[in-house]
Structures are given as C-alpha cells and as structure tokens.
Copies of this chain bind each other. A is one copy, B any other.
C-alpha cells in the first residue's frame, strides 16, 4: 500500500491517502525521533546541541525511500534502516550528535508512536467528515420528516414510514459512531516508549520524565506501561472504524435499492460522466453506493486480521505485529473513501416524493392491512380479524383494486367498520405513528451533542 494509485480516488479521500503515504509513515518515525531527542535534551540525558541537530535532520524528504524499502526487507522493519540513515545524516552534520540518535529507544517505540501520530491526524479527518455527514443527514431528516414512503422489510412491502425517519436512522447510527470515536481517543492517543523490552532501563532514572516530555511534545499521553505486545488499542481502533463503515454500508445499501429503476424513489446525484456505462448510454450507476458497499465488504475482514493478530509473543511479537503495518492504513483509507461518497450522496441525493406516493399506491393498500386488522381485532379477536383482512388482501390483489374497496365490499367487514373508519384506516399518511417524533428525538440528541461539543 503506497501513496497514490489507480483506485485512490475511487476508494479513498486524498487527505487520508496523504496521512498514510510512505512519506507520512517515515515522517511519523522521524517526528518521534525529534521529540525524543528534545525530551532527552530537556532532561539532560543528551546535549541540547545534539538534539537540535537531530531534530533538524528529521525531514522525510531527505531520505532515499527505495533504499529504505530494501533495508526494511533485510531488517524486518522500517525503523532500522531509517535510523541508520538518520544517524548517517546527523553524523555528516555533527559527528558528536550522531551518538545520541534514537538514544535508549527501540525500533518499535518509533514505529508505534509514529503510527499513533498518523492515527491522530486520521481520526481528525474522520471526525470532520462525520460532522459534515451528520449535518447533511440532519437536513435530509428534517426536510423529509413528513414524506411518506413504503416501508420495506425482508425486501417486501410493509406499512409506510417517512423518508425523514429512514434518514434519521442513518443519522442516529452516525452519532453513535462519533461517540465511540470520542471514547476511543484517550485510550489510543498515547506514546509507545519502553526501549528494548519496555523497561526503559536504557535511560536509567530518566525514563519516566523523558516519556512525559516526549508525550507532551506530540500532544499524546503516557500510558500506564508500554504496550509493544498488547495490541488492543490498535484492534479497537480498527473495529470502531469498521462499525462506522458498516453504518455507511447500510445507507449505501438503502440508496442502491431505492435507486433501482423499478423503485426509483431516490437517486445518487447526477453529474457528467458519473456512473456512466461504456455500452449503455442511458445508464446511471450508483457509483458512490458501490464504493461504500465495497468498503463495507472489505473492512470487517481487515479488522478480523487485527483482532486475530493480538496474541503476540512475549515482550514483542513476530508476524502479528507485522500484519498490522499495511492493514491499519488500509482500514482508514477505505473508511475515508466511504465517508467521501456518503457525504456526496447525502448532499446531492435526489429524493422523488412523487414516486414514493406512487409506489405506496401501487400496493393497493395491502400494506395497511395491519391497522385494519387491529381495528377489527377489537371486535372479533385477532385470529378472525387477520382472516378477514387476508381475504380482502387476496381479493384486492387479484382484482388489482385498492384494499379499501375490497374491504368495503366484504359485509363481514363493512358491518363493523364504517366508510369513514375505512378511509382513515387506509390512508397511509394517517399511519405514520411516531415517525415524526423519532426524527425529533434524533435531532434533539444531535443538538445536545453539539452543545456538549462546544462547551
């Protein structure tokens, strides 16, 4: 997984590709090394002058990436060749300073803290996108709070809902995803700093103080103890993203289904070339939904890799740790792409309220069997009520007439429910229940979260 490729625009956001570029990975390690040198200088472990020279050499641009790649293959990790190259660079600037590069730390300290720095930026991007998506979905929910449409369960017609309620369901899940990210951050955003085996013995009595200085510089905290072989933070991060991508996948599934020509109730935004076909000029494919669903099919397994890699050996493992290196970036990459497409969809979704009405009508009202059955049940019991209604449904279906008519013509029904009652019972707009209230509740919770975020 490197910095830019044929599918980076389709499956990722440019900003996230940048956060997880080869360059950014190298820079993450170097940022740790610079912070380490400065912290050690502040603590009197190494000379201040050495720290300055070291820090000045910590620019990714200065390194030969092809050589680093070759070195990583020999050493088994990236930090070793990178630190050799950094030491050489420092040495050519100041021989003495080169003695103090990476002083007392281990490769994994640099690699893991570097990764956490990337994750810090990456989570910032995700949160920003989620905030944006949230606002767009809130607007959709509000706008369509009273737009009735067919409910569908098991891909079969069901009583009516509103499109606003559907969008509020997406939004509500997005808000839970934001809460999860908020709760994750204090656990995740910590330095990795323990030296060869986690004891920081190399720093004598300075260990904890240097750790604290390093963390402060990098806007991280110091964990209870190093976590070289305790990878729950990484696995949890992946899992949290996967839940989010699953939420976006639910949105995409709904949109792709609503966009079927036979349904036609909503459509991804149209734009020149978007979703076109090489052979079918009339086609508009749900490109955004496809990309999101693809992410929702891939991220879960990537997370399984992180989870299954957790039982790492002793003080630092082999194989399991390596499995994380490309998988974590890939999870963020796919999440960023899914978010980008979800935002585009939420922003430009074309909702066809007229078609929603028409599709509701096309069921001949059989999806309103429930209220009729409930009304009848009060008089004849549920079993008989259901039988009466099922019979009417069958008649409506075969005669292709509204259920209301079939009911009206059935003396066992019409003797019990007046025309006015039947009219009311068979009006989908009268059978939307709490849909409006649910939307209100979701929007209120969102407003509350905003206020908390601000305070």
- Measured between alpha carbons, how far is A168 from B224 in the docked complex, in Å? 9
Hey, which chain B residues are within 8 Å of A432, CB to CB? 199, 201
State the copy count for this chain: 4
Is A442 part of the contact surface with B, judged by Cβ < 8 Å?
yes
Hey, which chain B residues are within 8 Å of A26, CB to CB? 6
Contact of A274 among B74, B176, B282, B445 (CB under 8 A): B74
A74-B271, A230-B173 are contacts. A315–B152 as well, Cβ < 8 Å? yes
- Measured as residues with beta carbon below 8 angstroms from the partner, the interface class of chain A is 35 or more
Interface string of A239-254 (1 = CB under 8 A from B): 1101101110110111
Hey, which chain B residues are within 8 Å of A309, CB to CB? 297
Q: Which of A121-171 contact B (CB under 8 A)?
A: 151-161, 165-166, 168-170
Interface string of A376-420 (1 = CB under 8 A from B): 011001110010011001000100000000000000000000000
- Among A154, A363, A378, A382, find the residue whose CB has the most chain B CB atoms closer than 10 A: A154
Is A197 part of the contact surface with B, judged by Cβ < 8 Å?
yes
Hey, which chain B residues are within 8 Å of A296, CB to CB? 308, 310-311, 319
| Min distance, Cβ A427 to any Cβ of chain B, angstroms | 11
Is A313 part of the contact surface with B, judged by Cβ < 8 Å?
yes
A153-B197, A236-B180, A287-B74 are contacts. A300–B307 as well, Cβ < 8 Å? yes
Interface string of A219-237 (1 = CB under 8 A from B): 0000111111111110110
B311 touches A305 (CB 8 A): no
Contact of A225 among B78, B106, B169, B386 (CB under 8 A): B169
Hey, which chain B residues are within 8 Å of A75, CB to CB? 273-276, 287
| Min distance, Cβ A422 to any Cβ of chain B, angstroms | 16
| Min distance, Cβ A92 to any Cβ of chain B, angstroms | 13
Is A2 part of the contact surface with B, judged by Cβ < 8 Å?
yes
B3 touches A5 (CB 8 A): yes
B307 touches A303 (CB 8 A): yes
Hey, which chain B residues are within 8 Å of A362, CB to CB? 261-262
Interface string of A302-337 (1 = CB under 8 A from B): 111111111111111111101101110000000000
Give the segment of A51-59, A94-102, A112-120, A345-353 that binds chain B: A94-102
B201 touches A98 (CB 8 A): no
Hey, which chain B residues are within 8 Å of A158, CB to CB? 196-197, 280, 283, 315-316
A318 touches B151 (CB 8 A): no
What are the 5 tightest A-B residue pairs by CB atom distance, in nearest-first order? Answer: A293-B319, A246-B310, A2-B5, A201-B433, A199-B433
- 10 extra interchain contacts, Cβ-Cβ under 8 A, other than A2-B4, A10-B72? A2-B3, A6-B68, A74-B273, A152-B315, A155-B257, A161-B197, A201-B435, A225-B434, A250-B311, A303-B303
